[in-house]
Structure 1
């Protein structure tokens, strides 16, 4: 059956999941919005490493001799590539202490420095290679004419706990990578979506058509990825089309799969001692990939069994090969060549590096939903992400959320989708999110109609003094008006925990006095943010700048209203209104003078810096 031709107004939506350990790409043609496709063919130096080909490693290698760049599965097996560099977007002092001490983070910084490039340049290099491969695969699937003749709408996923600074760096990297380059088909649009929201859209979209899903049901989505674990909860508003709203504030923490990966690697290194160093990098990688990544990590359950790891022969003394068996007393028992045998406690200890933190995040989210819904528990907890496919995590949560008289009044289902679906949920969900922003997708796809703000946003102002309202430390003598004022007061346009889909704009009126004309008729207004549970009435140290609005005053200075103070000094008064309209993922700030817009700024809604 021939494929339909592209209409003149068709487009491609492309979702990019730039992950800590693996990255993935999904896409959809607007003519068939129900068909979300995955990029699954990757260039590779070793075919056995592409068994999980729904994603490719987030690694890049700069050849010191040829200066060539290789990435993903195509990195030579016998070299050490730059990995984990996504985590370097977070300022070191904002990383958890265990991350700051991580050998992998330290090594990532060393390898980054050795490249002679900035972090943004390295991310741009990786994204450029990923993007070029994506276009090649689109052309292979749809043809040159269809791809080159259609606009792109690109949605890149970011962790929910990232701040706007990290998002700005990602946008800069995307621009440097060529994603925003001019095309004959028109402008390429790039937007960001939080990873847990994308994951939730994907898994909830898979639920469409199930008879047991009804309006009012709440689902807690646990996106357990490589670096972060994010929780987000949605209430079903409509089943057909699927419409959901975020019902409580989501939470996240850096307690992802890289911690268990590093713990297993350390366990093997300690077990082998000097034998580890005898192994070539290729052998080390192959062993960890086969024995851990595609073996124990996915299959482990807390049963009383041993786990055997096959070690390359080169690690052992050729004259006296041994099997190292480790029981709870760490004793060594010579058995046979080429294997390590770990007991239940060793492997359980690896997962317990992060499992208590993940369970705590889920527990807090379930409690918040129960309080919000007045005693109604979530219908299910959905596990997605690479670590979300872990058997041990599933089993532990199943035990915790079964109905018992002591711990859980009503059972909460724990659902773990099979196959590659949980691992690819984020990039698939990014496409669904992109489609929902178009008339095509909003009619047929899944849609988040309400989100909860993780931060408060506002404007600082000065007010007339009132002893009963303001703190003495803010009392300020204004020499322009010759009156006492309260400085550092806050107007909060959007408060943390509130619904971000306001139908009506929020507005406040202000004025400023000037004794002489403004330089080029310009002045600046700061948009401030705060991550406190209840934002302060006054500007404190927790209130920081998020964005700046540049105002271009078109009215000639001499035509501005005149103000004369009590001692006869004359000033010109600029009266203006600042309006904020929230559309869920961003806020549109506008400054009006006499009903005319003289300044505006679109501010991406950032997440908490916690």
Structure 2
């Protein structure tokens, strides 16, 4: 197997490998693993720690069998399987966590609004990513008194750790107790992620007890698009050929991340980064910030003093849960039931509904979508400048559910690529499953070769899909 990249600090040519001959892969794997350590087991946990949603998957590799799974049982979900949970915490006045993810029954009052004295804290990942930046304190939402972004992230990781332990204990039994100390975590990060942000994330994971110490080896950071690429290579969803280029546009809550790969080998299959990755803070929460700003301006016209907290929360949640994904820029007027008795035409409130014009919602979207398209165009230009053949543009991530965003990308991309723009169905779980596949490739096949940055997905057939 050739090694594209000996220099682990040189960041632009990571290969992603996958074998087309699983039987061969098993033999080569068996000999490699046996050389190293007769029955070495591996427990790999992927965490997609997102600004809005997070998810966890794992793989247990022993005796050349792989067991892979995604955690779908979370506190607060009852019997409903959920592949991702909100990245949110609720604190009481003493800075104790009284709710998190979907487990919020003790934090929320009867009308879906935090109980008196309870503070909802979300989007804290964005603050973690800006750790060490001077302007970090001016980002909303504000953190609980006396807690840093590292403390808050640690509280969240601590809750996630408890679920991982419960789940793995139940799934693997005795094997989990044996391997618990050797868990390797693969945690997703944006393409543009400073060393300070990584250090802050590592500190939070350590504080939460995910890591035994801030040791380098137990936690590996992986760029979101790289994990996604690995997943689609392994699942063989696309019929990519030698020299094809694939652009992955990962539209998340906090950031939009773009990386282009080229197929550098077909047998075994290999993908290598062919442009410099790019990204910016133009994810779906940028829309929410724009909407909140417009909403505040509307509410100010009411001159109610401090009464509109619930009205504000109601509008925000309706925007998040309905308008954001349903907006089509088709002239539709949006009405939100705010339960206000009197009419306030100055704030567009009538018959208990607050209304928003198509134009008002469009203004929330436009700057965000324009920035995403600028990033897409820059990547396509770079791909063409290098003479690569662009075969697919994959629009993935939670924000890709926006019909308007997807349509605008399709409409505004150079016409010869319009038919190449695809939005795979399973992209929500692709990233976290891909993170685990990267872990298997790095740990199991190449754990004797230090700091090797190309990814080999030559591993034995999974015994559990």
- Out of 278, 283, 297, the residue aligned to residue 324 of structure 2 is 297
Deviation for aligned residue 1:163: 1.5
Give the corresponding residue for 1:416.
Answer: 423
- 1:534-556, Cα deviation, whole Å (9 max, x unpaired): xxxxxxxxxxxxxxxxxxxxxxx
SS in 1 for 2:367: coil
- Contact kept in structure 1, 2:258 and 2:279, CA below 8 Å: yes
Which residue of the partner structure matches residue 310 of structure 1?
337
Match of 1:226 in 2: 253
- The answer for unaligned runs of 5 or more in structure 1 is 1-6, 325-329, 402-406, 443-502, 504-580, 587-610
Matching of residues 357-372 of structure 1 within 5 Å:
357-372=371-386
Match of 2:289 in 1: 262
Match of 1:29 among 50, 56, 60: 60
Partner of 2:6: none
Distance in 2, Cα, partners of 1:63 & 1:370: 54
Structure 1 position 71 matched with structure 2 position 100: yes
Offset, 1:199: 2.6
Residue pair 1:205, 1:242 contacting (<8 A) in 2 also: no
Q: Confirm or deny that 1:10 pairs with 2:37.
A: no
C-alpha deviation, 1:34, in angstroms: 7.0
Q: 1:175 to 1:341 in 2, by over 3 A?
A: same
8 Å Cα contact 2:55-2:85 kept in structure 1: yes
Question: Following TM superposition, by how much is the alpha carbon of 1:82 offset from its aligned partner in structure 2, in angstroms?
Answer: 2.2
In structure 1, the partner of 2:147 is 117
Is residue 76 of structure 2 the alignment partner of residue 62 of structure 1?
no
Offset at residue 228 of structure 1 (A): 1.3
- Please give the alpha-carbon distance, in whole angstroms, between the structure 1 residues aligned to 2:428 and 2:89: 21
Instruction: For residues 329-376 of structure 1, give each alpha carbon's deviation from its aligned partner in whole angstroms, at most 9, with x where no partner exists.
Output: x89484xx3323322212211111311110000100011011112xx4
**Residues 505-516 of structure 1: matches in 2 within 5 Å?**
none
Tell me how far 1:301 sits from its aligned partner.
Answer: 1.5
1:134 and 1:423 mapped to 2: Cα distance?
A: 19
**In the alignment, structure 1 residue 82 sits paired with structure 2 residue 96:** no
Displacement, 1:582? 6.6
CA contact (8 A) 2:243 2:389 kept: no
Q: Specify whether residues 243 and 353 from structure 1 end up closer, same or farther in structure 2 by C-alpha distance, changes over 3 A only.
A: same
CA displacement, residues 131-171 of structure 1 (integer Å, 9 cap, x when unaligned): 1112212233x143232233422111112211212212222
1:197 pairs, out of 208, 226, 251, with 226
- C-alpha distance in 1, partners of 2:407/2:66? 33
Q: Is the counterpart of residue 246 in structure 1 residue 268 in structure 2?
A: no
TM superposition shift of 1:66: 8.1
Note closer, same or farther for the CA distance 1:388–1:441 as it changes in structure 2 (3 Å cut).
farther
Offset, 1:409: 4.6
Instruction: Answer yes or no: is the 8 Å Cα contact 2:343–2:349 preserved in 1.
Output: no
- Give me the whole-angstrom Cα distance separating, in 1, the residues matched to 2:423 and 2:428: 11
Over 3 Å counting, the alpha-carbon distance change for 1:239 and 1:293 in structure 2 is farther
Q: Are the aligned partners of 2:127 and 2:136 in contact in 1 as well (CA < 8 Å)?
A: no
SS in 2 for 1:249: coil
1:56 positional shift: 1.8
CA 125–247 in structure 1, closer or farther in 2 if over 3 Å, else same: same
Name the counterpart of 1:146.
Answer: 175
Classify the secondary structure of the residue corresponding to 1:308: strand
Q: Do the aligned partners of 2:41 and 2:61 also contact (CA within 8 Å) in 1?
A: yes
Equivalent residues of 2:325, 2:402 under 8 A apart: yes
Worse-matched range after superposition: 51-60 or 126-135: 51-60
SS in 2 for 1:74: coil
C-alpha distance in 2 between matches for 1:582 and 1:372? 28
Higher helix share: 2
SS in 1 for 2:72: coil
TM-score between both structures, scaled by the size of structure 1? 0.59
Give the structure with the higher percent strand.
Answer: 1
| Residue 11 (structure 1) shift | 2.5
> CA–CA distance in 2 between the matches of 1:82 and 1:310?
25
Pick one of 28, 42, 49 that aligns with 2:74.
42
Matched, 1:388 2:400: yes
Residues 305, 240 of structure 1: alpha-carbon distance in 2 compared, 3 angstrom cutoff: farther
- Where relative contact order (Cα < 8 A, 6+ residues apart) is larger, the structure is 2
Following superposition, the deviation at residue 68 of structure 1 comes to 4.6
Deviation of residue 65 (structure 1)?
4.5
So what's the TM-score if we normalise by structure 2?
0.75
- Counterpart for residue 27 of structure 2: none
5 Å-filtered alignment, 1:86-485, equals: 86-91=125-130, 105-108=139-142, 111-112=143-144, 114=145, 116-140=146-170, 142-150=171-179, 151-181=182-212, 189-206=218-235, 208=236, 210=238, 212-239=239-266, 241-273=268-300, 274=302, 278=307, 281=310, 285=313, 288-289=316-317, 291-311=318-338, 313=339, 316-317=340-341, 320=342, 332=348, 334=350, 337-373=351-387, 376-401=388-413, 407-409=414-416, 411=418, 413-418=420-425, 421-439=426-444
